[in-house]
Structure 1
Amino acid sequence: MKKVLLLVFLAAICSIANAQNNPKPEEQIRKYWFVLLLKGPVRNQDSATAAKIQRGHLDNMDKMYYDGKLKVAGPFGDGKDWQGIFIFDCATKEEVENLLKTDPAIAAGRLIADIRPWYTAPTGSFVPGKPKS
């Protein structure tokens, strides 16, 4: 009986030690901002103007990426209302809104942004900090 109690006691100590070394799941989860880019109401620009807006949109994405704010960006390929996504590493929704104000496609009304908090473990490209050059 003493051996069983000793074994149970040692197992409990190991379990407590392991729990102290491993962060709680909620401490491993991190908040990002998911932005769904939708077709905007103003899409009547001529082809040259639309191309200029698109070039500015892509350049702005590069800037936000190299500033360490934009983690993921990309279009949907089906030509429907969902145009693309952004995932931002920002402290607040207001910070995301301010970054989106710099996007020529949003400013021109070609795109509108639906901003949502999004949570994931910080792995892979989601490791905090700026991208490596």
Structure 2
Amino acid sequence: MKTNLIIIASVICCCWIGSATAQTTNKNYDEKLARELKADDYGMKKYILVILKSGSVTDLPKAKLDSVFTGHMANINKLATEGKLIVAGPMGKNDRSYRGIFILDVETVEEAQKLTTTDPAIISQVLAAEYFPWYGSAALKETLKIHSKIEKKSH
């Protein structure tokens, strides 16, 4: 009898804890949009974060360096147009030689490396890249659409 009471109490306790921690569905949930953005149940997805840092080449003539960075910006625009580059931007001055970041809409480091080998700044070794799997909001893909509406001058 005592064993049965303990079992019943345990079952009731588990049910109560389970219901107390149960998650509810967001009333604003848009299933179609979630599917389009490849979001999981938390609205998140896998990306690859690329940290760009100063590379080993530091002595290019100004004209060549300007050409490399013109190509770098063209490559950024190409990857964004293809839907592979979600976020890009420079970093402020820091003591780690970090120069900028990319967030790429790919699932593997190998895919990200393949995309960044098309960048003249990386090819010329003016910049070097470090790659990290990153889990973030699937809504980041919408950033570029919004950005195009607030960008007064284009690159």
What's the TM-score bracket when you normalise by the shorter of the two chains? 0.7 to 0.9
CA shift for structure 1 position 77: 2.6
Larger relative contact order, structure 1 or 2 (CA cutoff 8 Å, min sep 6): 1
State the 4+ residue runs in structure 1 displaced beyond 2 angstroms: 18-23, 26-29, 130-133
SS in 2 for 1:55: helix
CA offsets per residue over residues 3-23 of structure 1, 9 Å max, x none?
Answer: xxxxxxxxx8xx6xx858569
- Percent identity over paired residues: 36
CA RMSD of aligned residues (A): 2.8
**1: CA distance between counterparts of 2:41 and 2:126?**
38
Q: Which amino acid aligns with 2:72?
A: H
CA shift for structure 1 position 91: 2.9
Q: Residue 52 of structure 1 corresponds to which residue in structure 2?
A: 67
8 Å Cα contact 1:66/1:131 also seen in 2: no
Is there any run of 5+ residues in structure 2 with no aligned partner, and where?
1-15, 30-39, 149-155
Aligned match for 1:106, one of 122, 128, 153:
122
Q: Residue 86 of structure 2 corresponds to which residue in structure 1?
A: 71
CA offsets per residue over residues 82-122 of structure 1, 9 Å max, x none?
Answer: 10000000132211111100000000000000000011131
Count, aligned residues: 115
**2: CA distance between counterparts of 1:67 and 1:46?**
31
